[in-house]
Amino acid sequence: MPKEDTQNLNSNLKRLAEITEWFDEQEEVDLEEGLKKVKEAVGLIKTSKFRLKEIENEFEEIKKEIDIENK
């Protein structure tokens, strides 16, 4: 459902923010944890970009419909 997807995107962004913040705060590099977070972040970025593209496409479709109705 679009609502859930949007929420996912939101939660993905939130999670990414947490991860980047985690990296900023680290004084000691926990390599294992760091690597885990990098992998998680890469996954989140991929999913989010994909979802963002979907949303953009959906938006373009709606825009086309509106443009046709306005003609």
Partner 1 sequence: MEDKIFTISEYINLINQGLKEFSAKIIGEVGEVNVWATGHVSFTLKDEKNKSVINCIIWKSRYELYGIELKEGNKIIASGYPEIWPLTGRLSFKAEVIEYAGEGILKKEYEKLKKKLTEEGIFEISRKRAIPTYPQKIGVITSLKGAVMADFSNNLGKFGFKVKIIDSRVEGQTAVVDLLSSIRTFRKENIEVLVIMRGGGSLETLQPFNNEMLVREVVNFPIPVIAAIGHDKDVPLVSLAADLEVSTPSIAAITISESWKEAILFLERLKISLQNFRNNLLNIRNDLNVFWQNSLIGFKGLLLRINQRLENAENIISANNPERQLKKGYSIASFGGKIIKSIKDAAIGKNIDLLVVDGTIISQVKNINPVRGYKGKIEVQNK
Contact footprint for partner 1 (CB under 8 A): 9, 13, 16-17, 19-20, 23-24, 28-29, 31, 34-35, 37-38, 41-42, 44-45, 48-49, 52, 55-56, 59, 63, 66, 70
Nearer to partner 1, 1 or 25 (CB): 25
Nearer to partner 1, 1 or 67 (CB): 67
Residues 37/20, Cβ–Cβ less than 8 Å:
no
Nearer to partner 1, 4 or 24 (CB): 24
Residues 43/15, Cβ–Cβ less than 8 Å:
no
CA 33 to chain centre: 21
d(CA 38, CA 61): 34
Q: How many residues belong to the chain?
A: 71
Smallest gap, in angstroms, from Cβ of residue 52 to partner 1? 6
